[in-house]
Amino acid sequence: MPPVSQAPNPTPLYPWGVPPSPPEKSRVGLMAGIIGGVFLLIVALLATLVLVGKKIDSSYPPAESTLTAPGTLLDGHYKLAKDDSPTLGPSLEKSWRLSWDAKAVHGVVVAYHPSGGDRGELIVTGMYGRFRNTGEVRSRVLAGNGSRHTEVKVIVAPMDVTPSGSRIRVSCEEVTRSWADGKALSYPVCAWADGNTWARVAYMTVYTARSLDLESAARITLQIRSEMVKPIK
User: Residue 35's pLDDT is what?
Assistant: 78
Rounded CA-CA distance 103/61 in Å is 10
Task: Please state the pTM of the whole predicted model.
Answer: 0.74
User: Residue 150's pLDDT is what?
Assistant: 63
User: Residue 52's pLDDT is what?
Assistant: 46
Q: Indicate whether 43 and 106 sit together in one domain.
A: no
- β-strand pairing of 229-231 with 65-67: antiparallel
Q: Which of 37, 58, 79 is the last residue of a domain?
A: 58
Tally of CA atoms within 13 A in the half-sphere of 123 that contains its CB? 13
Q: Indicate whether 31 and 86 sit together in one domain.
A: no
- β-strand pairing of 152-160 with 120-131: unpaired
Look at residue 171 and tell me if it is in a domain: yes
**Mean pLDDT estimate for the chain:** 83
Look at residue 139 and tell me if it is in a domain: yes
Q: Which of 58, 77, 104 is the last residue of a domain?
A: 58
Asked whether 200 and 125 are in contact (CB, 8 A), the reply is: yes
Q: Indicate whether 105 and 198 sit together in one domain.
A: yes
Digit-coded pLDDT (tens) for 152-188 = 899 999 999 999 999 999 999 999 988 888 888 999 9
User: Residue 92's pLDDT is what?
Assistant: 94
Q: Which helix (H) or strand (E) holds 40?
A: helix 27-58
Quickly count: other Cβ atoms within 10 Å of residue 121's Cβ: 17
Q: Which of 58, 78, 105 is the last residue of a domain?
A: 58
Q: Indicate whether 101 and 182 sit together in one domain.
A: yes
Digit-coded pLDDT (tens) for 84-98 = 999 999 999 999 988
Asked whether 191 and 200 are in contact (CB, 8 A), the reply is: yes
Determine the average pLDDT of the residues in 16-38: 64
Q: Indicate whether 187 and 99 sit together in one domain.
A: yes
Q: CA separation (Å) from 232 to 62, 128, 129? A: 11, 11, 11
Residue 13 has pLDDT above 70, yes or no: no
Residue 27 has pLDDT above 70, yes or no: no
Residues 6 or more apart whose CB falls under 8 angstroms from that of 184 comprise 176, 177, 178
Which of the pair, 195 or 182, is modelled with greater confidence? 195
End-to-end CA distance of the chain: 125
Digit-coded pLDDT (tens) for 107-136 = 999 999 998 778 899 999 999 999 999 999
Rounded CA-CA distance 6/111 in Å is 121
User: Residue 105's pLDDT is what?
Assistant: 94
Residue 203 has pLDDT above 90, yes or no: yes
